[in-house]
Structure 1
């Protein structure tokens, strides 16, 4: 042992910058675990409330209406931060994160489990297709393979219906504006809908055919796309202006809130057309609306959504080809529909395979409703 020499200066101890009490780290860990619990509760409850609000409010809550056309998976983005933290500090909370994923994927996104019955002689197979910016080769191969009784088309141009007629010999064709109709059944009447008008143009056409010597109606629908309006109003100043109630009115659309009201009224007027129909009828087309929200339920409350009643999977139709990683590089919206009106019930509904079309074609099979 080294002894200090009397009178020699003593060595100064190293200065203590700070001193951590023994119980500090466990206290921090408890706080982190406590905070993660509340964050998980807030996230799960908030996500559930947003899903409910989107489902039943949608366009009536204009700030939420912007989410209707976004990939639903955006609601899972907070888990990119929250889940890794919970894996480290509170692994059991990851089960709640998984529960949110399952509710979103299999509840909110309307995953269906139906299995179609065999075809019958009394049934009708129909296909709807928005031909604009879509793969006509993929579509015609789909039609040749399925051989539907009826094809309703929007944005069809002047040649697609005639071309389909060469693939389906003996079929009848009618065309009005952008709406083309190809049918195995004789066409008795056809006309554009006089009302309502969307952005100054007809939003549908009506075709009356004879099925087993009985008249019925098919409607082909194409509601205005929201893309132009959403991109027009998505600027930060416009959104903040609408929030504050001081936004400048667009000469064509008004404010974003006014545009939503116009869109809701258009849907109400079109729903009334279907409510006034006297014949058994089926509606197909590009409704340009997500399968959630106030407007969707206007139609689904009047008629039966064929995919929701008899589909399998998610039934997503738009966009067929995408580079969006949030949506898994695939479609994230169901914009194209078949609805069964009185006299018919859906037994199968599915989009075409492949990703070459902007809008996927949708096939549905219908059987006469009980007592018809």
Structure 2
């Protein structure tokens, strides 16, 4: 009887020692799932010209997005958005980390007031550990006569996603010139190639699938809607969308699990939401 008890005790002890090792070896929580939303919010104004930033926040909240990339965001810009800091307000309403990347930064109308800025924002449920606003070749909407120049407005946020860092980039490519968009795509790829961790690229590309600029991005990255979405993916214009110009791309190691257009009013674009699986990098 003692021998049998000793034998079973040995088996139990071996199992106790083996299970944690085996679980670690199998890689529990080796992948991080995250929902990513991109949206041109048209400075909080819907397709009928009504300013309603609360509606903007509600659409984002209902989507369940954990990482959010916004284009056409005002920061003390003008009366059209009541000179508010839209990025800060949305961050507070959604209880998310927020960073703002101006494309334009102008002197205030009155001395002592904040600078008037317009650009892009990144919001995150997870800590943003670093942030940079890169420059791309652009034609300024404020000074088109100056032609192509280097302007900011390509933000990069490094986000601590449950212990795994990811680089989230946000962009708004030129609506004026297809050749310029191709140049911008090349510049973005050069910048993203320096990333140390998996990459997610979001934004209003102002280009359709099959164009040279989108094809160039697809050569290096995965179009998450193409990989995991259904339907045509049209995002513009609300309420009768006929163009797919809003995209979420990812580096190859990220797997797209789902992607969809959220047909909810709040802007002149519909947002795109993708659920991604980010593998844990072991160093």
| 1:162-311 matched pairs, under 5 angstroms | 162-169=88-95, 171-177=96-102, 178-194=119-135, 196-199=136-139, 200=149, 201-226=151-176, 260-311=178-229
| C-alpha displacement of 1:294 | 1.6
Note if 1:155 corresponds to 2:72: yes
Q: 1:268 deviation in Å?
A: 1.9
**Hey, which of these two has a bigger chunk of strand by percent?**
2
**1:169-219 deviation per Cα after TM superposition (whole angstroms, max 9, x unaligned):** 3x211112112111111111111113x322232351101111122322100
1:349 and 1:364 in contact (8 A); partners too = yes
Q: Show the 5 A alignment for 1:11-160.
A: 122-132=32-42, 134-135=45-46, 136-158=53-75, 159-160=85-86
What TM-score, normalized by structure 2, do the two folds share?
0.68
Cα 1:332–1:173 shift into 2, 3 Å: same
Question: What TM-score do you get using the length of structure 1 for normalisation?
Answer: 0.52
After superposition, the CA RMSD in angstroms is 2.3
Structure 1: segments with no counterpart, 5+ residues: 1-119, 227-258, 322-329
SS in 1 for 2:32: coil
- Structure 2 runs not aligned, ≥5 long: 1-29, 47-52, 76-84, 103-118, 140-148
5 Å matches for 1:309-324? 309-321=227-239
How many Å separate the matches in 2 of 1:174 and 1:318? 26
Find the structure with the greater CA-based Rg: 1
Within the candidate set 245, 250, 259, 1:335 is matched to 245
Tell me the number of residue pairs that the alignment of Structure 1 and Structure 2 aligns: 211
In terms of fraction of residues, the more helix-rich structure is: 1
